[in-house]
Structure 1
Amino acid sequence: MPARCQPQPRDRNADFVRRFTAKQRAAHDNQVAKQAKALTADQHAAFRKQLEMVHFLPPAYADATKINIVGILRKWKSYCTFCRFQNWRDAVQVANRATAVSFLEYLCQTYRIATSGTSWQYFRQYKQLYASVTGRYMDTNDSKEIKKWHDAILVARYNLRASNMLGKDVANVDTLLLSRAYEDANRRKEM
């Protein structure tokens, strides 16, 4: 009978660990190769010069936002005509907190605004128009001051109610049964 070789004991765990570490090392080397190289001091200087030329990155507005800006632009042009401004674009360029407050006042006088939420939405759309035309955002402190003025004075002056204050009535089962009985009674009377 031929002699058989004794099987060599294999350490399966050691083999698994070797394959796992080899895969991890390859993945790490691949990730390092994909990373961007660090900029040199000269490259940083060139990058800063390039950024100085970029004053404003225009936001990528959604279609609904663009529609809102067009809507508020119509109102802004009406306001500019009312105030006898020569050009609506120039008026936006020099607009400040006082102009924004005056515009909100004009909107409440001219249009049928019933809620404070609607008037504030118009202001937010105005800020989008301002950013689109001027290439800069409205000052945050000015926005906060306008919000205080809006809530304290404009809402009271035009008796603007809170949004969703009137809410829809909710009917329960009893109300539905009563309305059904009422309809049936009316039908019987008509016969």
Structure 2
Amino acid sequence: MPTVPRSISNGSHNDFIKRFTERESQKRVTKKRPKELTAAQRAGLRRQLKSVRFLKPAYADNSKINIAGILRKWKKYCESSELGPWKPAMETADKAMAMDFLDYPCDTYKITSSGTSWEYIRQCKQLYSSVPGRYMDTNDSKEIHKLHDDVLIPLYGLRPPIANGKPVLGTDDLLTFKLAHDTSVFPLEAHHV
């Protein structure tokens, strides 16, 4: 284990911590909070919020990339199903269309894992909340999951996500790896004998 050089004393660490703490406390003091709203301002805020139908989620960059990918599949689905332009089709989508769309990539693409099709469900929900500006109905979502588990997995022979993939290591495997590569227990010379 590396040792701390003697030239660095506890005093210099304490100085650093003190300066850091002072700087952070100054940042907190300089941040000004908005003034507390009056009763009339609160009433006005409530009137404004009544007109807000849906606050679109602020997705992370990776989620936006996933949504763009599922949007490409949605556009191809709309074209092959002759639903017309993709956006109006998304805005009028219902449970039956969502179920049919979930079947589409399983039927069209070479999907072999139930984890991939499960991911399409999640991404489809994100796309749905982004375009029409509302969340998918909870009961409809449950029915879509049942279709996935009870119909699509057996119909397309989708395997569990980890089957035929990378093996999952247990703690005994990790211990074997550690012992095999620990030169303090087994010196390198012993390996070449």
TM-score (norm 2): 0.66
Give 1:133's aligned residue.
131
Unaligned runs of 5+ in 2: 1-32, 181-193
Shift in CA distance, 147/49, structure 1 to aligned 2, threshold 3 Å: same
Deviations 1:35-61 (A, max 9, x none): 964642x43432221002222212111
Deviations 1:125-167 (A, max 9, x none): 1111111101111111111111111100110100101110224
Give 1:184's aligned residue.
none
SS for the counterpart of 2:131 is helix
2:53 to 52, 55, 69: 55
Unaligned runs of 5+ in 1: 1-33, 177-191
Distance 2:37 2:44 in 1: 14
Distance 2:84 2:155 in 1: 30
TM-score (norm 1): 0.67
Give the paired residue count: 142
Shift in CA distance, 66/38, structure 1 to aligned 2, threshold 3 Å: closer
Give 1:9's aligned residue.
none
Give 1:83's aligned residue.
81
Distance 1:57 1:168 in 2: 40
SS for the counterpart of 1:134 is coil
Distance 1:75 1:38 in 2: 47
**How many percent of aligned residue pairs carry the same amino acid?**
52
Letter of the 1:49 counterpart: R
Letter of the 2:74 counterpart: W
1:97 to 95, 98, 101: 95
Letter of the 2:118 counterpart: W
Distance 2:146 2:161 in 1: 17
Letter of the 1:82 counterpart: S
RMSD: 2.5
Distance 1:111 1:35 in 2: 53
Please identify, of 141-150 and 155-164, the stretch whose mean Cα deviation from structure 2 is larger.
Answer: 141-150
